[in-house]
Structure 1
Amino acid sequence: MPVDDLESRGAKNRGHNDPSSHAVEERETQWVPWLIPVFVVANVSMFLLVMYVNNCPKKNLGTEGKCVARFLGRFSFQPLKDNPLFGPSSSTLQKLGALEWTKVVDKHQGWRLISCIWLHAGVIHLVANMLSLVFIGIRLEQQFGFARIGIIYLLSGFGGSILSSLFIQKSISVGASGALFGLLGAMLSELITNWTIYTNKAAALLTLLVIVVINLAVGILPHVDNFAHIGGFLTGFLLGFVLMARPQYGWIEHRNLPADSQSKKKYKTYQYVLWLVSLILLIAGFAVGLVMLFRGENANDHCHWCHYLSCVRTSKWKCDGT
């Protein structure tokens, strides 16, 4: 998944010698990223556990020669006809927490909405997501700290799982892509809510929009859960307004005002409006989504064209695969 390269931040209409500009820069570099590396280690460790449980040579005794990379022993991969991504079987993923509508709704296994974001279908899937997580997440954690980025990552993954369950009810889904799209969505809303402190605003916005559109376009390919991408992106987009707003009025412009006045003028009115509207939409979206999910509703019944958001059928492929 491609990642963005946002233009460098700078305070608007401030000189290089402005002390408040240096204060902002110091604040942005004070966070030492550790949560994103932990997430990477957790995802890799979970994949190794899945492969250990999968144990292709033992569970495919009749077709032992078809296991890929048999020199890895029980960590060898399923036959490529079963899993072309060099990974485990779908039954192993189901056993260890893949997102599956029937188990979430009929067997009340709501924990799968979270567990699925720590599972990956194969080495290719894992490497692509982890590279994206490192390039996107490290920079965000450096700027905003582990707490906000951790909340965005986890809630975006959760939001992606909810939307995926509402629309995809005949197959399983795994992967951290929903959480990663949440980070992209948060980057976009952060750019919008902190618009006045950016230099080269148009270039930064255009770059990020192109990246988002390309990634979502890839999601219309078969076997890709684009609903998890869309749900994660929307969740992260709203969370960005709630968690990533920055002060818009520099201290230097108000240095002659009392401390109380300075603190009251740190954020602009539009930021408070975006914060409130986003929080309401976020709570309402989660509430409506969870109610629909656990009532067993199929969102396709309410949106007959939405299936095109996840897969567009062509002469080259069909959209009925798992």
Structure 2
Amino acid sequence: MTYIDEDFNYYSSRKPSETDDKHESSLIGNAAGMGRSDEYQDPLSKHEFGDEPAEQKNGLARFFANGKYPLEQRIENKKRGIGRQKYPFVVWLLTTIMVAVFIYELVVNGRQQGTPISFKPTVNPMLGPSESALINVGARFPPCMKTVDQVPVTLLLPCMNDTANPPDRTCPISDLCGFGGIADGETPNQWFRFITAIFLHAGIIHIVLNMLAQCIVSAQIEREMGSGGFFIVYFAAGIFGNVLGGNFALVGVPSVGASGAIFGTVAVTWVDLLTHWRYHYKPKTRLVYMTVELIVGIALGFVPYVDNFAHLGGFLMGLLVGTIFYPVICTSRRQRLLMYGIRLAMVPIVIVLYVLLVRNFYTSDPYAACSGCRYLSCIPTNANNHCKG
């Protein structure tokens, strides 16, 4: 089970007796550093979760999964893997939207090239639309978002309906950008691609891998922290991953996928493990598995159309924003104050990172600041001019 069983609430369904007090103290109270069970109180509940029972909350409070539970119950729920809500509504909604958007991508490519999957002029290894089609439907592609001297909007690329090799139908980037195109003399400014790229996927393999991770890892995180906090973490990580990639990845290659957002939710599992170490079963073994999974995920960032900077940026932002919103169990006033201090410190860090990288994207050449950073998401080959194309 990965949710709070509303029918099983031992602490709210019966009044604790003196015998129960002693029994509960011996089992759980010592871990929490507290005495009688009727004196137990979630130290975060008044400040973060409100004073009303969850079932009496209004719709907005339910969305943020607020509720007041005794400290010993929260500890027991954590050990049993029980979260704050039963269903991951946001994950289900996002997954539905992303599958629908991917079907739209295939339809667009099918109308242009005659087949939903691009086989000519080049084969998409992810089994999906052509590069031109991905740009047209909203991939993160810097030339459509700002002036890029190396890749101006007047540069000719294969049209969406081109199937010849070498291409015999070329279109200017200004037309491929779609969304009304970019008029002559107009400065590209399709900033929304930082967001739309999250909902797009490069192919069948790409979306299957991402949706599996989203419906397993991300769904569990939503159950644990509630839909409100999860929503903020998910999009903060996804957008920041695209901002970081826009700064340092190859400017002439489109990037798509929810990987950055998913990596942000993976980062929350690290927040959970490190803050609740003693409540996890075999935490050292879990740490090893999580480390291996992280390494594999970063390795997949070198696949075409997938940006490792989105992975790394999403993970970093997931750690920061996840620390702010994840419901950490504090068993003492000192721990509670320390957690509040850490959360307050995270807020300006998040803001500064966003401001600096967005400003850097629009006002300077990131390659000049970090010429070697591109290799974190690119394997040098002749096809990409050794990560300079």
Same fold (TM over 0.5): yes
In the alignment, structure 1 residue 235 sits paired with structure 2 residue 325: no
Equivalent residue letter for 1:313 = P
Query: Percent identity over the alignment?
Result: 28
Cα–Cα, structure 1 residues 204 and 277, in superposed 2: closer, same or farther, change >3 Å?
Answer: farther
Cα–Cα, structure 1 residues 318 and 207, in superposed 2: closer, same or farther, change >3 Å?
Answer: farther
Q: Tell me which residue corresponds to 1:277.
A: 345
Deviates more, 1:107-116 or 1:211-220: 211-220
Deviation at 1:282, TM superposition (A): 0.8
> SS where residue 226 of structure 2 aligns?
helix
Deviation at 1:216, TM superposition (A): 1.4
In the alignment, structure 1 residue 49 sits paired with structure 2 residue 94: no
TM-score by length of 1: 0.77
Q: Tell me which residue corresponds to 2:55.
A: none
Q: Tell me which residue corresponds to 2:142.
A: 101
> SS where residue 311 of structure 1 aligns?
coil
Deviation per CA, 1:43-86, whole angstroms, max 9, x where unpaired? 00001112222225xx33xxx6xx4xxxxxxxx32216331222
Q: Structure 1 or 2: larger helix share?
A: 1
Equivalent residue letter for 1:203 = T
Equivalent residue letter for 1:239 = V
Deviation at 1:274, TM superposition (A): 2.2
Q: Tell me which residue corresponds to 1:130.
A: 211
Mapped to 1, the partners of 2:347 and 2:277 lie a distance apart of 20
Equivalent residue letter for 2:73 = H
The answer as to whether partners of 1:11 and 1:197 remain within 8 angstroms in 2 is: no
- State which of 259, 282, 307 in structure 2 corresponds to 1:200: 282
Mapped to 2, the partners of 1:247 and 1:235 lie a distance apart of 21
Question: Matches of residues 210-225 of structure 1 in structure 2 within 5 Å?
Answer: 210-220=292-302, 223-225=305-307
Q: Tell me which residue corresponds to 2:369.
A: 302
The answer as to whether partners of 2:221 and 2:268 remain within 8 angstroms in 1 is: no
Q: Root-mean-square deviation (CA), in Å?
A: 3.0
How many residue pairs get aligned? The number is 282
Deviates more, 1:113-122 or 1:197-206: 197-206
Larger Rg: 2
> SS where residue 145 of structure 2 aligns?
helix
The answer as to whether partners of 1:12 and 1:198 remain within 8 angstroms in 2 is: no
The answer as to whether partners of 2:256 and 2:306 remain within 8 angstroms in 1 is: no
Mapped to 2, the partners of 1:315 and 1:12 lie a distance apart of 64
Equivalent residue letter for 2:127 = F
Cα–Cα, structure 1 residues 246 and 321, in superposed 2: closer, same or farther, change >3 Å?
Answer: same
Mapped to 2, the partners of 1:103 and 1:12 lie a distance apart of 59
Cα–Cα, structure 1 residues 43 and 136, in superposed 2: closer, same or farther, change >3 Å?
Answer: same
Deviates more, 1:147-156 or 1:183-192: 183-192
Deviation at 1:23, TM superposition (A): 4.7
In the alignment, structure 1 residue 139 sits paired with structure 2 residue 220: yes
Mapped to 2, the partners of 1:23 and 1:281 lie a distance apart of 30
In the alignment, structure 1 residue 161 sits paired with structure 2 residue 242: yes
Mapped to 2, the partners of 1:111 and 1:12 lie a distance apart of 51
Mapped to 2, the partners of 1:12 and 1:164 lie a distance apart of 47
Deviation per CA, 1:192-225, whole angstroms, max 9, x where unpaired? 2344544533333333222212221332455531
> SS where residue 82 of structure 1 aligns?
coil
Equivalent residue letter for 1:89 = S
Cα–Cα, structure 1 residues 225 and 30, in superposed 2: closer, same or farther, change >3 Å?
Answer: closer
Where relative contact order (Cα < 8 A, 6+ residues apart) is larger, the structure is 1
Note the residue ranges of structure 1 that are not aligned, 5 or more in a row: 1-9, 68-75, 251-264
Q: Tell me which residue corresponds to 2:117.
A: 77
Deviation at 1:245, TM superposition (A): 3.9
> SS where residue 105 of structure 1 aligns?
coil
Mapped to 2, the partners of 1:287 and 1:224 lie a distance apart of 24
Mapped to 2, the partners of 1:77 and 1:222 lie a distance apart of 15
Deviation at 1:22, TM superposition (A): 3.2
The answer as to whether partners of 1:31 and 1:145 remain within 8 angstroms in 2 is: no
> SS where residue 214 of structure 1 aligns?
helix
